[in-house]
Structure 1
């Protein structure tokens, strides 16, 4: 088998009309790509954001769906910039917490929803419920300590960070950097 380098391979178009056609075709193809890509991307993003509405419609028909579906919707409305709607997120997360009060993740998302709405007292209570549901887990303690820091309660935050570090000793450097 004979090896060929890239420099050995050449495409030669001798006819001037064909060269002109290929050049114009490439330019038009590039323009079409530049014009069409953002529209195709927007269409795909819009199609992805409709999924929350589809799930809402399914919930109205089949109201006994699991709390995980409601939690997913709440998280979607809380964190997805395309469907950001904190009041709607809170409604779904409150229902998910009512249906499954033992899932600390639902409590954490509910707390963050209250925080997004500016309801600090309810956010604090929801964070405490998450801690009660998962007292030995790192994430609820970390998020609650950060919440306390944002509220200006540094001493309480340090206590909660200490418990978080006991749950995950590898986080000591992160906590130290955060508290500087």
Structure 2
């Protein structure tokens, strides 16, 4: 009996210890929840990047890479594309620009009622920098969206659960 109570108590303690506190970021026509241990940045490192959610700086101690989630957008200039069409165009560009890229998975899914394409791929960028990406690609209102989690392959699984929770919270608000 004491063992069961101790096990139950430890289970509850672990649940609360590993529960992630979340904040909400809203911009334009979308919202996303992010882990409070991470920080939001609207700094435009590229014109298409709408925001980045960056892991704590300490996460780069072992692998020299700071995990992040970003959203990039692109006007489709009147083209009527599905998420699968837009994903194929994106993957073709990746193959041209990053010859070491390897597609791990490419699946049709639904995210909060929106048809999307979920792609996981990795690439060797040299200098022992092998990165892994999980992208959720969708199309809405004449715009292509790519919501991307980026990590070193060494730490991808460490941050996958937290990243999935953040990616899964993305919604359009109008």
Report the TM-score range of the alignment, normalised by the length of the smaller protein. under 0.3
Task: Return the structure number with greater strand share.
Answer: 2
Determine which structure has more spread, i.e. the larger CA radius of gyration.
Answer: 1
Greater relative contact order (Cα < 8 A, sep 6+)? 2
The normalised TM-score by structure 1 is: 0.27
TM-score (norm 2): 0.28
